[in-house]
Chains A and B, each alone.
Chain A
Amino acid sequence: MLRLENITKRFSNGTLALETINLEVAPQTIVSIVGASGSGKSTLLRMISGLEVPSTGQLSWNGQPIQRSQRKISFIFQEPRLMPWLKVSHNVRLGLGPSPDREDEKLVTEAIAKVGLERFAHALPRELSGGMAQRVAIARALVARPSLVLLDEPFSALDAFNRLKLQNHLLKIWAIDRTTLLVVTHDVEEALVFSDRVIVLTGQPGRISEDFFISLPRPRRRTDPEFQAWKQAILDAFDPSLLNESETLGEKSYASGH
Chain B
Amino acid sequence: MGTSANKRTIGFSAGFPEENEALPFAEHSKRSVFRVHNTLGWITPAILIAGWELTARARLVDSSLFSSPAQIAAELWKITLNGELLSHLEATSLRVLAGFAIGVSAATVLGALTGYSGTARRLLDPLLQSLRSIPSMAWVPLFLLWLGIGESSKISLIALGAFFPVYLNLMNGVRNVDRKLVEAGLANGFRGFALAKAVILPASLPAYLTGLRQGLSVGWMFVVAAEIMGASRGLGYLLIDGQATGRPAIMMSSVILFAICGKLSDGVIATLSERWLYWQDVYRT
Tell me the A residues contacting B by CB distance below 8 Å.
49-51, 68-71, 74-75, 77, 79, 81-87, 94-99, 115-127, 132, 135, 140, 164-165, 168-169
Docked-complex contact A69 and B280, CB < 8 angstroms = no
Q: Min CB distance, B181 to chain A, in Å?
A: 6
Contacts of B184 in A (CB 8 A): 75, 77, 81-83, 94
List of 3 A-B pairs having minimum Cβ-Cβ separation, nearest first: A98-B194, A126-B281, A116-B16
Q: Which of B179-211 contact A (CB under 8 A)?
A: 180-181, 183-191, 194-195, 198-199, 202-203, 205
Beyond A119-B23, A120-B25, A124-B279, whether A94 also contacts B16 by CB under 8 A is no
Docked-complex contact B24 and A95, CB < 8 angstroms = no
Q: Min CB distance, A155 to chain B, in Å?
A: 14
Q: Which of B4-27 contact A (CB under 8 A)?
A: 12, 15-16, 19-20, 22-27
Q: Please, how many angstroms separate the alpha-carbon atoms of A199 and B281 in the complex?
A: 39
Asked whether any CB of chain A lies closer than 8 Å to the CB of B28, the reply is yes
Q: What are 11 contact pairs spanning A and B, CB under 8 A?
A: A51-B183, A74-B187, A74-B188, A84-B279, A86-B279, A115-B16, A116-B16, A120-B25, A122-B25, A126-B281, A135-B16
Contacts of B181 in A (CB 8 A): 81, 83
Q: Min CB distance, A193 to chain B, in Å?
A: 12
Beyond A97-B189, A116-B20, A119-B25, whether A84 also contacts B280 by CB under 8 A is yes
Docked-complex contact B25 and A123, CB < 8 angstroms = yes
Beyond A81-B181, A83-B181, A98-B198, whether A51 also contacts B19 by CB under 8 A is no
Q: Please, how many angstroms separate the alpha-carbon atoms of A96 and B185 in the complex?
A: 11
Contacts of B202 in A (CB 8 A): 83, 85
Q: Min CB distance, A76 to chain B, in Å?
A: 9
Q: Min CB distance, B42 to chain A, in Å?
A: 32
B278 closest partner in A (C-beta): A124
Q: Which of B199-257 contact A (CB under 8 A)?
A: 199, 202-203, 205
Contacts of A49 in B (CB 8 A): 187
Question: Which one of A68, A81, A127 has the highest number of Cβ atoms from chain B below 10 Å of its Cβ?
Answer: A81
Q: Min CB distance, A44 to chain B, in Å?
A: 15
Docked-complex contact B187 and A51, CB < 8 angstroms = yes
A81 closest partner in B (C-beta): B184
Tell me the B residues contacting A by CB distance below 8 Å.
12, 15-16, 19-20, 22-28, 180-181, 183-191, 194-195, 198-199, 202-203, 205, 279-281
Docked-complex contact B180 and A79, CB < 8 angstroms = yes
Contacts of A75 in B (CB 8 A): 184, 187
Contacts of B195 in A (CB 8 A): 98
Contacts of A125 in B (CB 8 A): 279, 281
Contacts of A71 in B (CB 8 A): 189
Beyond A84-B281, A116-B19, whether A94 also contacts B24 by CB under 8 A is no
Q: Min CB distance, B8 to chain A, in Å?
A: 15
Docked-complex contact B19 and A69, CB < 8 angstroms = no
B197 closest partner in A (C-beta): A98
Contacts of B205 in A (CB 8 A): 85
Question: Which one of B26, B186, B194 has the highest number of Cβ atoms from chain A below 10 Å of its Cβ?
Answer: B186
Q: Which of A81, A87, A126 contacts B180, CB < 8 Å?
A: A81
Q: Please, how many angstroms separate the alpha-carbon atoms of A51 and B19 in the complex?
A: 34
Q: Please, how many angstroms separate the alpha-carbon atoms of A139 and B202 in the complex?
A: 22
Docked-complex contact B188 and A95, CB < 8 angstroms = yes
Q: Which of B28, B190, B198 contacts A124, CB < 8 Å?
A: B28
Docked-complex contact A122 and B190, CB < 8 angstroms = no
Q: Please, how many angstroms separate the alpha-carbon atoms of A181 and B196 in the complex?
A: 30
Q: Min CB distance, A148 to chain B, in Å?
A: 12
Docked-complex contact A122 and B28, CB < 8 angstroms = yes
Q: Please, how many angstroms separate the alpha-carbon atoms of A120 and B199 in the complex?
A: 22
Contacts of B198 in A (CB 8 A): 83, 94, 98
Q: Min CB distance, B16 to chain A, in Å?
A: 4
Docked-complex contact A116 and B23, CB < 8 angstroms = no
Contacts of B183 in A (CB 8 A): 51, 77, 81
Docked-complex contact A77 and B16, CB < 8 angstroms = no
Docked-complex contact B22 and A119, CB < 8 angstroms = yes
Docked-complex contact B25 and A121, CB < 8 angstroms = yes
Beyond A83-B199, A120-B25, whether A97 also contacts B279 by CB under 8 A is no
Q: Which of B15, B180, B187, B194 contacts A116, CB < 8 Å?
A: B15
A76 closest partner in B (C-beta): B187
Q: Please, how many angstroms separate the alpha-carbon atoms of A165 and B16 in the complex?
A: 8
B11 closest partner in A (C-beta): A168
Q: Please, how many angstroms separate the alpha-carbon atoms of A94 and B198 in the complex?
A: 9
B190 closest partner in A (C-beta): A98
Docked-complex contact A165 and B189, CB < 8 angstroms = no
Contacts of B25 in A (CB 8 A): 119-123, 127
Q: Please, how many angstroms separate the alpha-carbon atoms of A68 and B187 in the complex?
A: 9
B178 closest partner in A (C-beta): A81
B12 closest partner in A (C-beta): A168
B205 closest partner in A (C-beta): A85
Q: With contacts A98-B190, A123-B28, A126-B280 known, what are 7 further pairs, Cβ within 8 A?
A: A51-B183, A75-B187, A86-B279, A99-B194, A119-B20, A123-B25, A124-B279
